[in-house]
Amino acid sequence: MRRVLPFVRFTLIFILLNVLARPASAEDIKTLTKKAEGGNVEAQFHLGIAYYEGQGVPKDYAEAIKWIRKVAEQGNAHAQYNLGLMYAKGQGVPQDFTEAVKWYRKAAEQGDADAQYKLGVAYAIGVGVPKDIAEAVMWLRKAAEQGNVEAQFHLGIAYYEGQGVPQDYVQSYFWFSLAASRSDGEDYKKYSGRRGQVAKILPPDKLMEAQQMTRDWEANHPR
């Protein structure tokens, strides 16, 4: 298929880095820097985050990416994912989607669900890699099966429209249900609305099948 998946007819969305620690004082930064320069991987990552966020130091993307790269090059999936985000946004480096995808892939292959989702989106719209809907769905599925809500929703649309997978309304309802059950606010309205749309199409026996699939998955994947 050459048509772009409807759920990714938009520019890649890149979220801010998850902050695990936020040094707030000059003394904190001094201690963290000493540990980072001594090779402490956790300190290197947190120091990178401090520069990214401007916590205890002036915000400096170039310095942030320097420290995050050190951790990423040692194989840390979370740092690899965040390095990919910074390349995608052009923070501290020239914007480079090919380089972003390279780091997403490293993290995705280690099982990072967020990186798997980003990699799936990249394949779906052909940014940083050639467009490949089958490859997109493969990575979206990996992320969805780990509970990534956006991936679950997008996989639901893929099944609804039959893009990269055979059209299957039972599967579509199932993935929309999982996304809705893990969301609130406007996201819940959107996801549950799509689920309701599919429910109107399904015959009663198929609707019951989809609902049972959802219950079974929830029972086997406690939160």
What lies within 8 Å, CB to CB, of 60 at 6+ separation is 51, 54, 92
- Classify 77-143 by CATH class: mainly alpha
CA distance 147 to 149: 6
Query: String of b and e for 85-122 (b: at least 16 CB within 10 Å)?
Result: bbbbeebbbeeebebbbbbbbbbbeeebbbbbbbbbbb
This prediction's pTM: 0.83
Structural domain boundaries of the chain? 22-74, 77-143, 147-223
Please give the pLDDT value at position 17.
Answer: 35
Please give the pLDDT value at position 27.
Answer: 74
- Phi, psi (degrees; rounded to nearest 5) at 3: -75, 140
13, pLDDT greater than 60: no
